[in-house]
Amino acid sequence: MENALNEKSFQDKIDEGISIEPKDWMPETYRKHVLRQISQHAHSEIIGMQPEGNWITRAPSLRRKMVLLAKVQDEAGHGLYLYSAAESMGVTRDELLDQLHTGKAKYSSIFNYPTLTWADIGAVGWLVDGAAIMNQVMLQRTSYGPYARAMVRICKEESFHQRQGFEIMTVLSEGSSEQKEMAQDALNRWWWPSLMMFGPPDEESPNSANALKWKIKREGNDELRQRFVNQTVPQAAILGLKVPDTDLKWNEAKKGYDFGTPNWAEFKNVISGNGPCNKERIANKIHSHKEGAWVREAAEAYAAKKNKASIAA
C-alpha cells in the first residue's frame, strides 16, 4: 500500500515536471534505468576521447592541435560530470569503471569505429557531435536533476565541437581533389554509424516505453534520427559531399527526408562487444590505445585493404 502511494506521488511529480533529486523516493526500476543510461553516457564520453585523442599529435597545424586538445579535454570533463551524477545514485566510481572494463556496461556504438584519416576528425565533430547534440538537448530536461544539470553545460560545449568538425570538413572539401576525396571517404564511413547512435528503431527499443513514461527521454529514437537526417543532409550539400544513401530523397508530405535502413545487424554486433575496435579494447582493458598503436594498426589495415581492392579492380 505504502509503495503504491509512493509510486503514485513519484509519477505525479514526473508528470508535473518536478525533477527527481538524489534523496527523493524513487522506484528501484527508475534508479536502475537512469543509472544505466548515465553510466553508459559517461563511459561514452571517456571512451570517445580515444579515437580523437590519438590525432592530437598528428593534427596538421598548431591551431588544429590546440582546438582538438581543448575538445578532447571537454569530453573528459563531460565524463566526470556524468560520473558524479551517477555517484549521486549510490554507486562508486570504481564500480562504474569496473563495469566498463569487464564489458558489463556499454558505451556508444560509434566509438567502436576507427579514425583512420584527419578527415575523420572533421566527420566525428560534424556528425558524431552533431548527433550527440540532437539527442542531448532533450536530456537537459530529463527527470533526474543531477543528470539534467550536467547536460546543460555539456550541450553548450557540444555545439562548439560540432562547429569545429564542420570547419575541418569545409576546409577539406574546398581543398585539393585528394582532400575532397578524403572528406567524402570519411562521410561514407561515418554516416551510417552516426544514425545508429540514436539507438534501435522505436519498435525494437525495450527501454523507450519506461524512458518516456518517466521523462528520462522526451523523444523517441526514430524522431531524433529523422531530425538529424533533415538537419545534416543540407549541410553535406553545402560541403559538396554526397550522403552515401541511394534511398535518400526529400518527402514533401512529411517535410523531411526518406532514408535507407541502417545495418541493424552490424549495430547489434557492435553493441554486444564485437565491433571493429571494442573486442580488442575489452580484452586489453585500459591499455589498448597505449601510445596510439591501435590507430596506427587500424590505419595500416585499412590502407592494405584499399590497396588490395584497387589492385583487384
Residues that bind ligand BYC (CB under 6 A): 36-37, 40-41, 44-45, 48-49, 52, 75, 106, 108-109, 124, 128-129, 132, 135, 196-200, 205-208, 211, 217, 221, 271
Q: Which three cell numbers mark 87?
A: 555517484
CA separation for the pair 164, 75 (Å, rounded): 14
For ligand BYC, give the closer residue by CB, 106 or 245: 106
The C-alpha cell 553493441 sits at 271
3-state secondary structure 71-106: HHHHHHHHHHHHHHHHHCCCCCHHHHHHHHHCCCCC
Name the residue among 130, 118, 134, 133 with its Cα closest to residue 169: 118
For ligand BYC, give the closer residue by CB, 26 or 38: 38
For ligand BYC, give the closer residue by CB, 6 or 276: 276
Length reported for the chain: 313
Name the residue among 241, 41, 266 with its Cα closest to residue 148: 41
Q: What is the nearest approach in angstroms of ligand BYC to the Cβ of residue 54?
A: 12
For ligand BYC, give the closer residue by CB, 48 or 245: 48
For ligand BYC, give the closer residue by CB, 261 or 307: 261
Q: What is the nearest approach in angstroms of ligand BYC to the Cβ of residue 87?
A: 17
CB-nearest residue to ligand BYC: 48
Q: What is the nearest approach in angstroms of ligand BYC to the Cβ of residue 142?
A: 9
String of DSSP letters for 196-240: HTT-S-GGG-TTHHHHHHTTSSSS-HHHHHHHHHHHHHHHHHHHT
Q: What is the nearest approach in angstroms of ligand BYC to the Cβ of residue 48?
A: 2
Helix (H, G, I), strand (E, B) or coil at 256: strand
Q: What is the nearest approach in angstroms of ligand BYC to the Cβ of residue 60?
A: 19
- Locate the DSSP E strands across the chain: 249-251, 256-258
Pairing of strands 256-258, 249-251: antiparallel
Q: What is the nearest approach in angstroms of ligand BYC to the Cβ of residue 293?
A: 20
For ligand BYC, give the closer residue by CB, 27 or 181: 27
Q: What is the nearest approach in angstroms of ligand BYC to the Cβ of residue 38?
A: 8
CA separation for the pair 238, 259 (Å, rounded): 19
For ligand BYC, give the closer residue by CB, 44 or 232: 44
